[in-house]
Amino acid sequence: MDNSEQDNLQRLIGSIDEVDAGLGAAGYIASRQISTAIYIAHHLRKPILVEGPAGVGKTELAKSVAAWLALPLIRLQCYEGLDESKALYEWKYGKQLLYTQILRDKVGTLIGDADDLGTALTRLHAFGDVFFSKSFLEPRPLLRALEQPRGAVLLIDEIDKSDQEFEAFLLELLSDYQVTIPEIGSITAAVPPIVVLTSNSTRDLGDALKRRCLHLHIGFPDEQLEARIIASRVPGIDARLLVQLVAFVQQLRGLDLKKLPSVSEAIDWARVMVLMHTSVLAEDMVRDSLNVLLKFESDIEAAAKRVADFTAKARQAVAVNR
Amino acid sequence: MSAPRPASPESIRAAASEPLRRFLQVARGAGLRVSAAEGIDAARALDLVGFSDRTILKDTLGLVLAKTADEKLLYDETFELYFQRDEFSGANDPETKPGPEARDLRQWTRDISHGMGGSGGQSLSELLESDDRAVLAMAMEIAAHASGIEKIRYLTQKNRYALQILEHMGLRELEQQMAALRRTGTPDAAARVQLLEERVERLWDTVRDFVERSLLLYARGETEQFRERLLKSARLANLDRHHLERMRVLVRQMAKRLAIRYSRKRRRYQRGQLDVRRTLRRNMGWGGIPFITTWKQQRIEKARVMVLCDVSGSVAWVSQFLLMFLYALTEVLSDIRSFAYAGSLMEVSDILENHSIDEAISRVMAAIGFGSSNYGNALADFEQGWMKHVTHKTTVIILGDARGNGTDPRTDIVGRLAKRAKRIIWLNPELRSAWGTGDSDIYRYAPYCSLVRVCSTLSDLERVFADLLEEAA
């Protein structure tokens, strides 16, 4: 284990406040809960399972941690049918085949003077499993994450989309930071990666997996946090517009919609506003750009009825906040 | 807390373990499933962050202990209940900081628990007069544990425990002292008695509050389990409305369990049938020499279900739960089409898909429910509108008591339906002894159904769906 690298990380993640500041510098405005989770996950060496609605920054969290700690981000996108040959390793069949062809003569001379089959076999055995060694191994994301000399941030995205078998397969990696390759043996991480798993709860994850992880639920942020997030992502935004915009989005989340507008949609919307050089939330403007916030026709219809009301209230929010 | 704590790890661990252990016990009692490994994680995490910041403490334990949305809610409640110890203002969590006065107090409580109140340290009267809330709170907790408050289970035990706690704190001696004071009769003594009376009154209230909270803390998990068992086996028609919320949770849980069990296998290998294309591809690395063989796979189809629910007065309740169950199972069933009937029949799939289940059900009921049933009419409606969609893969579930109020049962339609569909399951909420009596036509329908079942409790429902999924897998 590389101690100096480990110490370095240890120093960077010294306290919850430092996590807060570090993520902030990487452009991720974290709630206290999120910083606490990162801090504890690192010190207990536990993976974090992040759940929450789409677009609240689950994936972004992993990216920002990687950016802050200057570690490589290794991402594994899960889907139905994902198996270990795509997630962990694959033998380089082509290379194996090519090498056996090239080395055929060499092998021939080596065992050419053997008297019988037994001796020939013994000689061959002496070379070990040359064709099943690490140089013929094609590492996939999980193995790559373990092999990084300085540690890594491993993002296992949308774990709920993978099959149950794959979830079980992950258990060894998540609890011991090692994987077993039958032909080679167990490979243990030089520096344990920081593992972030995300899930949209399309299916329930197994208890065994959950037991091995810390569980962080990221919900929609409150008004102040959301304003800070948007301000950091859309730097040019007018302060008054920002408050109004956030107030509007927050009201929208109170409606019974198929898909509630998330932080990422709010950021997109703020960008649209900035592009259009608006400085005050105007009703017709909101109506025209509602499709940035809402992704279903029925949602847009439902929200359109309340636009006038919400815009008026959002404008008042400024007065209150001042 | 910002920097690592200067104190030695041992001392921190010693301070953390006892309150944490008790909290874990409480959390388990409240229904959180906390494994031993998670308990250890919690202790390690607490070593890191300490007890000093309440929000960090809460977030930290939440990360380790609560792992679903439901559990998070439960955890929040439990945490607030357990760490809410501010009834004596000024008492900032006495357990974590046992200072010197606390040790005196231990001595003192040991004395009074041996019935020597007043002879050792302070008596209850002195405590009350000095009005030191931190010490009082501490005394109450110690007395509470001496009287075994963790074992409280029922509402009716509240007063008994409150009295026991007060007695452990030295109530008897206090009463004797007050009686003695009254006998002396001086104005000074009278004033003291009045002061003590007021303070005892307040102490009573505090202790009662404390016991009530303890009841919530320690007894909730168990009472809930008991109630769940009861609700699962209770006849749906007899259930009170106020159980509805709990029933919904139960239905979701049961459905989820079934879904997990049956969503696992989506494909089945057919041994003996070589998949030539995939075998060649897999063995490209060996120049196409088939070292590894791949067999053909058969995708396991999700069960297609059409469900006809009687929503007339007598059976409406059961229908509601059937629909709830069905829609909680969408993960493992595909193409659920639901129909509601009473006097006539209509498709309600749209309503159920586009609204939350509670609202949808009330809409369905409002549209068609609570009339008197006419099975003949309803079946004729179905044949006319939807019979053509029934295929050999469809399972048709009919829920109803088969009491058509003397109208023509139209068993011929059920016969035609049986020929088209994979099978018909008839669920009857009536007890078997009532079948065939009066206007019940159940025995006339039965020959066309592959399964006729009594279905009056949640457990019955669960069994039906388990069978259904079993056969599909």
pLDDT in tens, A249-277: 998 888 888 888 999 999 999 999 888 88
Is the CB of B2 less than 8 angstroms away from the CB of A39? no
Alpha-carbon distance B384 to B117, whole Å?
86
* Residue A3: per-residue pLDDT: 63
Asked whether residue B105 carries a pLDDT value surpassing 50, the answer given is no
- A77's enclosing H/E stretch is strand A73-77
Per-residue pLDDT of B420-448, as tens digits, reads 988 898 988 888 888 888 888 888 899 99
CB B319 within 8 A of CB B364: no
CB B375 within 8 A of CB B315: no
Q: How confident is the model at residue A37 (pLDDT cuts 50, 70, 90)?
A: very high
CB B220 within 8 A of CB B31: yes
Is the CB of B66 less than 8 angstroms away from the CB of A215? yes
Which residue of B56, B67, B299 is the best one to mutate when testing the A interface, meaning the one whose CB has the most A CBs within 10 A? B67
What is the residue-averaged pLDDT of chain A?
Answer: 85
Q: Which residues of B touch A37 (CB under 8 A)?
A: 59, 63
Is the CB of B1 less than 8 angstroms away from the CB of A203? no
Helices first, then strands: H and E counts in chain B: 19, 8
pLDDT mean over A198-210: 83
pLDDT mean over A222-236: 89
Per-residue pLDDT of A158-172, as tens digits, reads 998 888 788 888 988
Q: Which residues of B touch A216 (CB under 8 A)?
A: 63
**Residue among A15, A33, A93 whose CB faces B59 most closely:** A33
Alpha-carbon distance B23 to B45, whole Å?
14
Q: DSSP assignment, residue A70? A: T
Looking up tokens 């609890």, which residue turns up?
A175
Alpha-carbon distance A278 to A273, whole Å?
6
**Is the CB of residue A94 less than 8 Å away from at least one CB of chain B?**
yes
**Is the CB of residue B473 less than 8 Å away from at least one CB of chain A?**
no
| Exposure string for B307-325, b = 16+ CB within 10 A, e = fewer | bbbbbbebbbbbbbbbbbb
| Exposure string for B127-136, b = 16+ CB within 10 A, e = fewer | bbeeebbbbb
* Residue B238: per-residue pLDDT: 67
**Is the CB of residue B272 less than 8 Å away from at least one CB of chain A?**
no
Query: What is the DSSP secondary-structure string of B200-238?
Result: HHHHHHHHHHHHHHHHHHHHHHHHHHHHHHHHHHS-GGG
Helix segments in B30-98, DSSP class H: 36-49, 54-65, 69-82
Interface of A with B in 290-309 (CB under 8 A): 298
Residue A195 in tokens: 């593992």
pLDDT mean over A109-134: 77
* Burial of residue B446, with CB atoms counted within 10 A of its CB: 0-12 exposed, 13-18 middle, 19 or more buried: middle
Beta bridge partners of A155: A75, A196
**Is the CB of residue B289 less than 8 Å away from at least one CB of chain A?**
no
* Residue B53: per-residue pLDDT: 83
**Residue among B38, B60, B69 whose CB faces A211 most closely:** B38
* Residue A67: per-residue pLDDT: 93
Q: What is the ipTM of this complex?
A: 0.81
Is the CB of A204 less than 8 angstroms away from the CB of B264? no
Is the CB of B3 less than 8 angstroms away from the CB of A14? yes
Q: Cβ atoms within 10 A of the Cβ of A126, count? A: 8
Smallest CA–CA distance, residue A277 to chain B, in Å, is 38
* Residue B343: per-residue pLDDT: 79
- Rounded alpha-carbon distances, angstroms, from residue B30 to B23, B77, B224, B307: 10, 9, 9, 37
Q: How confident is the model at residue B464 (pLDDT cuts 50, 70, 90)?
A: confident
pLDDT mean over A4-20: 81
Query: How many Cα atoms within 13 Å fall on the side-chain side of residue A3?
Result: 0
**Which residues, 6 or more positions from B324, have their beta carbon under 8 angstroms from its beta carbon?**
B248, B251, B357, B361
Q: Residue A178: phi, psi to the nearest 5?
A: -145, 155
CB B122 within 8 A of CB B108: yes
Is the CB of B2 less than 8 angstroms away from the CB of A15? yes
Q: How confident is the model at residue B91 (pLDDT cuts 50, 70, 90)?
A: very low
Which of A302, A210, A198 shows the shortest CA–CA distance to A253? A302
Alpha-carbon distance B468 to B456, whole Å?
17
Is the CB of B45 less than 8 angstroms away from the CB of A44? yes
Q: Which residues of B touch A97 (CB under 8 A)?
A: 285-287
Is the CB of B48 less than 8 angstroms away from the CB of A40? yes
Q: Which residues of A touch B358 (CB under 8 A)?
A: none
Q: Residue B421: phi, psi to the nearest 5?
A: -80, 165
Q: Residue A25: phi, psi to the nearest 5?
A: -65, -30
Is the CB of B2 less than 8 angstroms away from the CB of A97? no
* Residue A197: per-residue pLDDT: 94
* Residue A155: per-residue pLDDT: 94
Helices first, then strands: H and E counts in chain A: 17, 9
Per-residue pLDDT of B297-333, as tens digits, reads 776 666 678 888 888 776 777 777 777 777 777 666 7
Is the CB of A36 less than 8 angstroms away from the CB of B49? yes
Q: How confident is the model at residue B122 (pLDDT cuts 50, 70, 90)?
A: low
Q: Which amino acid is at B266?
A: R
Is the CB of B49 less than 8 angstroms away from the CB of A40? yes
**Is the CB of residue B4 less than 8 Å away from at least one CB of chain A?**
yes
Which of B93, B94, B77 shows the shortest CA–CA distance to B29? B77
CB A283 within 8 A of CB A313: no
Residue A229 in tokens: 């997030």
Length of chain B: 473
What is the residue-averaged pLDDT of chain B?
Answer: 76
Q: Residue B324: phi, psi to the nearest 5?
A: -60, -45
Task: Evaluate if pTM is beyond 0.80.
Answer: no
Q: How confident is the model at residue B291 (pLDDT cuts 50, 70, 90)?
A: confident
- Count contacts between A and B (CB, < 8 Å): 82
Length of chain A: 322
pLDDT mean over B29-53: 84
Between these two residues, B386 and A110, which has the higher pLDDT value?
A: B386
